């Protein structure tokens, strides 16, 4: 959670945290920072702060009004904090491939080494929890990020549903011992409409060619 990357590597030789932003699909990334750069501590806490601040600046959602005051801390931002903390808490830091967070304008992906310790359907229901790194979870709880109720994944899905975005996806890649959470920020209806328009244009084009 704290300390420096070169110290952490003594216990976790494959420890690696990677944050990427991509705006142009022709580039592998447009902005990036990693735990091994030597430009910052490289620890879990500082990575969380750096990654969340980057995402929070980019996620465009309406402001809320609380007690007559406008606030930029929306349910989406809370869900992103929960997702990022879960990714860091449940990573298997002995795993051979590091943890990767990727931000794109219409999608956030969070990928960590290790599999779910409970069934995915149970995690989505929010009925139980079995975190891999209890001490990391305790540290995050102490700064009011996450809770031990087992409802973190459930609440992320609920927020995405309230925004009418496409449902989040959880992919357990058993062959490489990794888990990926995909958070689309696309409206289901708009996506369906665009796909329908595309199909209609294709049909009309076919008619014209004939």
For the stretch 147-156, pLDDT in tens is: 665 578 999 9
Whole-number pLDDT of residue 202: 45
Q: CA 75 to CA 61: how far, in whole Å?
A: 9
Matching residue, tokens 């009004």 = 65
Whole-number pLDDT of residue 4: 97
Q: CA 151 to CA 170: how far, in whole Å?
A: 15
Whole-number pLDDT of residue 12: 96
CA-wise closest residue to 93 among 116, 115, 113, 117 = 113
In this prediction, residues 139-159 reach a mean pLDDT of 83
pLDDT band, very low/low/confident/very high, at 191 (cuts 50, 70, 90): very low
Q: CA 22 to CA 83: how far, in whole Å?
A: 19
Whole-number pLDDT of residue 23: 93
Whole-number pLDDT of residue 64: 67
Whole-number pLDDT of residue 192: 45
Q: Using DSSP, how many helices (H) and how many strands (E) does the chain show? A: 7, 8
Whole-number pLDDT of residue 73: 81
List, for residues 65-92, the tens digit of each pLDDT value.
Answer: 666 666 678 899 999 999 999 999 999 9
pTM of the model as a whole:
0.83
Matching residue, tokens 């989505």 = 124
Higher per-residue pLDDT: 183 or 152? 183
The backbone torsions φ and ψ at residue 11, rounded to the nearest 5 degrees and listed phi first, read -95, -35
Q: Torsion angle of alpha carbons 27, 160, 138, 91, nearest 10°?
A: -40
Is pLDDT above 60 for 126?
A: yes
- Can you give the residue ranges of every domain in the chain? 5-209
In this prediction, residues 54-70 reach a mean pLDDT of 76
Whole-number pLDDT of residue 201: 45
Matching residue, tokens 């943890």 = 99
Least confident of 29-38, 76-85, 109-118, 187-196: 187-196
Is pLDDT above 70 for 209?
A: no
* Percent of the chain topping pLDDT 70: 82
- For the segment(s) 5-209, the CATH number from 3.30.1360.20, 1.50.10.20, 3.30.565.60, 3.90.960.10 is 3.30.565.60
Kindly report the number of other CB atoms within 10 A of residue 121's CB atom. 9
Is pLDDT above 90 for 128?
A: no
The backbone torsions φ and ψ at residue 27, rounded to the nearest 5 degrees and listed phi first, read -105, 145
């Amino acid at each position: 959670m704290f300390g420096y990357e070169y110290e952490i590597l003594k216990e976790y030789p494959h420890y690696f945290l990677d944050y990427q932003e991509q705006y142009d699909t022709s580039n592998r990334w447009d902005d990036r920072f990693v735990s091994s750069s030597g430009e910052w501590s490289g620890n879990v806490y500082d990575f969380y702060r750096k990654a969340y601040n980057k995402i929070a600046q980019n996620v465009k959602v309406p402001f809320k009004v609380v007690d007559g005051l406008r606030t930029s801390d929306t349910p989406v931002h809370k869900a992103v904090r929960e997702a990022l903390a879960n990714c860091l808490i449940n990573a298997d830091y002995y795993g051979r491939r590091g943890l990767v967070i990727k931000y794109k304008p219409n999608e956030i992906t969070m990928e960590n080494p290790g599999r779910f310790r409970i069934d995915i359907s149970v995690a989505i229901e929010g009925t139980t929890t079995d975190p891999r790194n209890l001490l990391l979870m305790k540290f995050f709880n102490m700064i009011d990020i996450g809770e031990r109720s087992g409802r973190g994944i459930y609440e992320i899905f609920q927020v995405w549903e309230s925004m009418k975005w496409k449902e989040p996806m959880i992919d357990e890649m058993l062959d490489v011992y990794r888990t990926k959470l995909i958070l689309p920020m696309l409206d289901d209806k708009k996506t369906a409409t665009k796909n329908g328009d595309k199909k209609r244009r294709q049909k009309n084009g076919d008619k014209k060619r004939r």
